[in-house]
Amino acid sequence: MIPVQGVENQTIAVLGLGRSGRATAAALTEGGANVVVWDDGVDTRDKAAADGMTVLDLTREANWDGIAALITSPGIPHLYPKPHPVIAMAYALGVPVDNDIGLFFRSFATRDWESYDTTPRVIAITGSNGKSTTTALIHHILREAGRPTQIGGNIGTGVLSLDPAHDAEVVVLELSSYQTDLARALTPDVAVFTNLSPDHLDRHGGPGGYFAAKRRLFAEGGPDRAVIGVDEVEGRYLADQLAMAPSDDRVIRVSSGQKLERFGWSVFARKGYLSEYRKGRQVASIDLREVKGLPGEHNHQNACAAYAATRAVGIAPRQIEQAFHSFQGLPHRSQRVAEIGGVAYVNDSKATNVDAAAKALTAFQNIRWIAGGMGKDGGIEALQPFLGNVVKAYLIGHSARDFALQLGQTPHEVLETMDQAVARAAAEAQPGDTVLLAPAAASFDQYPNFEKRGEHFTALVQALPR
C-alpha cells in the first residue's frame, strides 16, 4: 500500500466503494486522514459499515462541514453527461475533487528515495486501443531485463495498492481517460500515447473532450520522455505540441506502417520489421514476424511503443528483442492458446466490436473465424474488406443469423453455441489454419463478460484430442 501524503488529520470523503474506492479509503487512513465514505448502493454501504468504515450521506449538504476533499472513483461521471449529484455538491461548496491517480502521483516519492542509488521511475500508458497489451509488454520487458517493476492502474493492481517503490524500480501504469481526466497530479517520467479512436464520447462530451482527457497526461504531466503514436492526426498534433523541433528527442514518435527517419528519435514498424532511428540514422532493428505473442500490425504498433518506452529507461535493444519472443500476450487479446496438429488456436474474445475484429482478421492467414454474440449497430457489414483471409466463419449467439446475411460470399455456418463452433472448426481445420475467436459482438447473450467467453473457448480447445 502507498500511504497518501499530506492528509494527516484532514477529513477526506471517498465516493464509490469498488476496488479503487476501498483501496483509496485504506491508503488515506494509512496516511492519517479521517475518512468518510459514500456509495449509491445500499448493500455496498451496509458492507462498508460492517467493515468498520464511517458511512456519511454525502447527498446532504449539512454533512459536508469540515470535509477537505472528495476522492471519486473513475467510473463516476464528474462532468459529462452530467456530474454525479455528490460531485456537483462538492463543486458548489468549493471542495476539491480528485481521484486515486492524483493521490498516487503526489504520494509516490518518499524520503526513502534519498538513500537509493537509482531513482524509481513511472511509465504511464494511455490511448484508445492497445494500451493494456502495451502496458503488459513494457512490464514484461523490464522484468526479463532484471529491473524491479510493478504494474497497475487500469490493469492489475489499483495504484494505491501497489507497494512503495524499491531502488531502481519502474512502475508501469495503464491509465484510462476516466483516470487522466480528473487527476490533480500527473507526473510520469515516461508517458505513452498509443492511438486514438472514438470511445466514451458521452462521458467526455464528444471527441474533443475525449482527446483532451488523454492529452492531460502530457500537457500537465510534463514527462521527461513522451512516446507518441502518430498514425492518427491527434498523435501528430500532440507530438508537434510537445516537441521544440523535429530533432527534439524528448518526443519519441512511433508508428506501424510509416517510415519516421527525419526526427530526433523514432521507432516504427514496416513489413514486419521494427526500426529505431536517432538523428536520421538507424541504430537498431528487430524482426517481429516470428514473435508469436504480437501478431498483426496493431500489435506491431504496441511493440514499437513498448520498445520506445523501455529504451527511454535504459533497456538495451537485444534485451527487448529477447523479451518480445517470450511474451505470451494478454488473455483474450490475440492470445495463442494452443497449436494442435499444425492448427493454431487464438483467443481474441476482447474483440467485441468491428474495429477490434478487423485487426484480428488481418493478423492471421487461413482463418477459421468464430464470431457472434450480441451484435452492435451495423452488425459486421463493415468487415467486408477484411474477410480475405477467412476460409470459413462459424457463427454463434443471438446475432448469428444476422451476421450470416452480411457475410456475402464468405463460406459460413450458423452453429449457435461455442461448443459446436469449436468442434466443427477443429474438425475441418487443416495444418496452417488458425481457428480464431474474434466475436465482433458483446458476450451478454451467452456469457456474463468477454473474459468468461474467452475462458470457455480456451477450455474447449484444451480438451481437443492431441
What residue numbers does the annotated binding site for ATP cover? Answer: 127-133
Spatial contact of 435 and 429, defined as CB atoms under 8 Å apart: yes
Look up residue 330 and give its three cell numbers: 494478454
Cα 442 from Cα 397, distance rounded (Å): 10
Phi and psi at residue 255, to the nearest 5°: -155, 155
Q: Please state, in angstroms and rounded to a whole number, the distance separating the CA atoms of residues 173 and 191.
A: 10
Which amino acid is located at 200 in the chain?
Answer: H
CA–CA distance, 154 with 20 (Å, rounded to integer)? 10
Cross-sheet strand order for the sheet of 273-278 = 149-153, 170-174, 121-126, 190-193, 225-229, 251-256, 265-270, 273-278, 281-287
β-sheet bridge partners, residue 149: 170
* CA 21 – CA 120 distance, rounded (Å): 26
In one-letter notation, the amino acid at residue 347 is N
Give the H/E segment covering residue 172.
strand 170-174
Nearest-10 Cα torsion for 163, 166, 170, 171? 10
238 and 218 Cβ atoms separated by less than 8 Å: yes
Separation between Cα atoms, residue 84 and residue 89, nearest integer Å? 9
Take residue 263 and report the three cell numbers written for it. Answer: 526526427
